[in-house]
Amino acid sequence: MTDNALFDYLLRLGDTSLVLGHRLSEWCGHAPELEEDVALTNIALDLVGHARLLLSYAGEVEGQGRDEDALAFLRDVYDYRNHLLVEQPNRDFGHTIARQFLHDAWALELYEKLMVSADHRLAGIAAKAVKEKRYHLRHSGEWVVRLGDGTEDSRARMADAFDRLWRFTAEMFEADAVEQALAAAGVAPDPASLRPAWEARVDAVLAEATLPARPAIIGTSGGRIGRHGEHLGYLLAEMQFLQRAYPGATW
């Protein structure tokens, strides 16, 4: 295993958490009820916290003097390595919940396996994060059921959201040379090994929500190697504005 593979992997995890955290932060002050406004904001903070730990470690592994802030705010869009799923726009509340649930079901399975990583630093990060991941999945799963088995309108919106998002989920289970090297070294699981548990969790919640069954998924991928859609550029323009406009600014 090389440091380059570990660096790339940490970027993939850190960027995915950071981008999803920013997407959820866009709901602050706009959620459908006050309690949910607080919940989404807290989940966003959890995700940004995970990103900080992962990107800080990535900077140390890289050894080029870049810290978590430099990696978050001073990279361009094609240097980001997040899953395409998490950069998709919020659209409506149901779409946000569907996106969150699909991610959470994957993230919990991954971080539970990372707790026994041969890399003790990564295992420690996973052990801290997994408690929050369990809450995230419970929260998003309960909302999928509530909206799917709710009104005619809420059910239609949830069905539409999943229809739009399925194609971005296959990327979470793809393996390239980075994951293969880390799996061989016992640092990270083979992404394909996460799929059965993810499918079981997703299928159970969809059935309880009386939503259409999960289709056969034909994947759209590329986020992990820097190929993104137009949405990420707009997100980063907002997230990175202050640091770009005032380089080195401190509070």
198 within a domain of the structure (yes/no):
yes
Domain count, the chain: 1
Report if residue 189 sits inside a domain.
Answer: yes
Flag whether 250 is in a domain: no
Using a 10 angstrom Cβ sphere, with 0-12 exposed, 13-18 middle and 19 or more buried, the burial of residue 80 is buried
What per-residue confidence (pLDDT) applies to 36? 92
pLDDT at 223: 96
**Residue 216 sits in a domain of what CATH number?**
1.20.1260.10
Q: Is residue 164 part of a domain?
A: yes
Report the pLDDT value the prediction gives residue 219, as an integer from 0 to 100. 79
Residue at 251 is within a domain: no
Q: For residue 148, which phi and psi values (nearest 5 degrees)? A: -65, -40
Domain holding 54, by residue range, is 3-245
| Domain contains 195 | yes
Residue 63 lies in a domain: yes
- Which helix (H) or strand (E) is 155 found in, with range? helix 152-165
In a domain, residue 172? The reply is yes
Alpha carbon distance 62, 4 (integer Å): 7
Distance CA 118, CA 162 (A): 35
What's the rounded Cα separation, in Å, for the pair 126 and 23? 22
**Cβ atoms of residues 56 and 223 within 8 Å:** no
Consecutive 10-residue runs of the chain (251 residues): their mean pLDDT? 90 98 95 91 98 98 96 96 98 97 98 98 98 98 98 97 97 96 97 97 98 89 94 96 88 70
